[in-house]
Structures are given as structure tokens and as C-alpha cells.
Amino acid sequence: MERPKRSRRYGYDARWWGEAPKVGPDKRTYWSTTRSPLPCLFFIAPILLTYEIGILWLGGESAEALRTGADAWLRQGLARVGVTDQWLLPLSLVLILIAWQVLERRDWRFPASTTLGMGLESLVLGVALVGMSRLVDLGFNWLEHTRGHVLALPGGSHAVSPARLIGFLGAGVYEETLFRLMLIPAIFYALRTLQTPGVVACTVAVTGSALLFSLAHHAGTPGEAFTWFAFIFRWLAGVYFAWVFLARGFGIAVGTHAAYDVLVGWLGWHL
């Protein structure tokens, strides 16, 4: 009996992620279409443009000071090799997604309603993460018998300002680009080169990228003061975002991250 073919997608069978078998040439369900690079690009493009234009509009000559951590780190890395054009980084992300679409030879057509569904799904997953943060908070309360550890996002207070909103949108795009889109495949394929089993390589890539994601929030100047609650929660959040990235695609990972940051950091919403 012929063994079923397994997906090469980070060592997991595509059926585990709800990808329906193809019907005809390339007819896909919503659940698989959202993982295609082109719908992801159309979904994140408004978020990316709002952030980049908002930074220039609100910051003026001091625009660089408003950039989020991951965005600033990536730009600093490019500056070290002499690349300083302010539009190169977002353009590079667009070209990466287009090249990915070309290499995977997927259908370039998809329903316009897909992006609406991705927005709603991102909001639901963002709310779920708010709930997870509350569970972690309750766990720390039980262990330490102290007052609640409400996770403080950078900036301290929940000031309703356009600059904060723009920053949270940028964090959703560039933190997912750095820690999920770039880091997870890099760790995974490096381990696979060393003959590491696919499931083990994927697990290490997910947990390792999540650990770096959490540590990054406490590094540099200004870095958030270290607390075990913030560190552990962000590690778990990094695993959560990685799961969303692998199971639901890059676009929804960006949307979930941005939705959570806006709900908690801008609106001050806690369950």
C-alpha cells in the first residue's frame, strides 16, 4: 500500500492544518488560500502603508525615532552595509511575498472576501490571546499571592494617540517579519541540513524564535524592565504567533499581532 505523501511545510502533514485536497486544477478553500503569499500581501499592504506613511507624517524630521524595535533593528542592519533608503525595507517585504508566490506556482486569483475573512479571523485570534494573557496573570497571582501583573506594553500608559496606534501596526508587520517569516524557516532549514527530524526541527524553530522574541523586548535602549511575568507571557505569545504563522499564514499572524497590540496597548482592553 502506497504511503500518503507528507507536506514539506516545516515537517507537518498539510492535513493537520486543515488544508483541503485540491479539486480540479487549483481550487482551494478559504483556509488554504489565506496561507498563500498573494492574499497575505493584499491583507498586510494597508497595515504596512498606514505605518510607513504615518511614521513620516507624524515624525517629520524625527521619523526614525518613532519606528518600532524590529523595524529599527532591520534598518540598522541594512545601514551597516550602506543601505539607507527608507522605502527599501517595505519594498523588500513586498518583493519577498511576490517571489514566494511565483516559486510556489499558486493561483494568482482569490476571492476579494478572503481579506475580510482574514481581518475577522485576526481579531478573533487577537481576543483569544488577550484571554491567554489573563490566564497567565491569574497563574502568577496564584503562585505569588500578589496583585495582578497587567502586562505593560512599551510606553507605560494607554494613551489614545495616533503615534501609539501607528507603532502597534508597525510592530505587527515587522516583528512577524523578523521573528516568524525570517527566523522560523532559517532555524528549521538549518536544523534539517544537520539531519534533524522535521518535527523536532519545527519544534525547536518555534520555541527558539519565541524565546528570542521575548528576550528582544528587554534588550537595547530603551528596553522594557525584566519581569518574569512579561518574559514568560511574551514567550508563550511568541509560540502562539508562530502557531498562527504555520497554521494560518503570515498575513493572519500579522493581523493577530496588530489586533492584540491595539486592543491591549492602545485601547487598554483586558478581559
For 1, 8, 160, 177, 214, the CA distances from 96, given in Å and listed in that order, are 40, 20, 34, 11, 25
**Percent residues over pLDDT 90 in the chain:** 59
- Across 49-69, average pLDDT: 89
Q: Could you tell me which of 158, 157, 183, 164 has the C-alpha nearest to residue 74?
A: 183
pLDDT of 24:
47
**Location of C-alpha cell 504511503:** 3
**pLDDT confidence of residue 117:** 96
Distance CA 239, CA 78 (A): 27
Confidence of residue 6 (pLDDT cuts 50, 70, 90): very low
Which residue, chain included where needed, has cell 522594557? Answer: 224
- pLDDT by residue (tens digit) across 67-112? 988 999 999 999 999 888 889 999 999 999 999 999 988 788 899 8
Range with lowest mean pLDDT among 30-44, 63-77, 119-133, 213-227: 213-227
Per-domain residue ranges of the chain: 14-266
| Residue 270: predicted pLDDT | 65
Which range, of 26-30, 81-85, 245-249, averages the lowest pLDDT?
A: 26-30
Dihedral (CA of 17, 175, 166, 76) sign:
negative
pLDDT at res. 245: 97
**Residues with Cβ < 8 Å from 89, sequence gap 6 or more?**
71, 74, 75, 78
Percent share of the chain, pLDDT over 70: 82
For residue 12, give Cα distances in angstroms to 6, 63, 153: 7, 42, 34
Q: What is the DSSP string of the chain?
A: -PPPP---STT--GGGGTPPPPBTTTB--HHHHTTSHHHHHHHHHHHHHHHHHHHHHHHGGGGGGG--HHHHHHHHHHHHTT---TTHHHHHHHHHHHHHHHHHT--S---THHHHHHHHHHHHHHHHHHHHHHHHHHHHHHHH--S------TTSS----HHHHHHHHHHHHHHHIIIIIIHHHHHHHHHHHTT--HHHHHHHHHHHHHHHHHHHTTSSTT-PPP-HHHHHHHHHHHHHHHHHHHHH-HHHHHHHHHHHHIIIIIS----
pLDDT at 263: 93
Q: Predicted confidence band at 198 (pLDDT cuts at 50, 70, 90)?
A: very high
Choose between 202 and 5: higher pLDDT.
Answer: 202
pLDDT digits 0-9 by tens, 150-193: 444 443 445 568 888 999 999 999 999 999 999 999 999 999 99
Residue 27 sits at φ, ψ, to 5 deg, of -90, 120
When pLDDT is averaged across residues 47-57 and rounded to a whole number, the result is: 95
pTM for this structure? 0.85
pLDDT band of residue 16 (cuts 50, 70, 90) is very low
Mean pLDDT (the chain) is 84
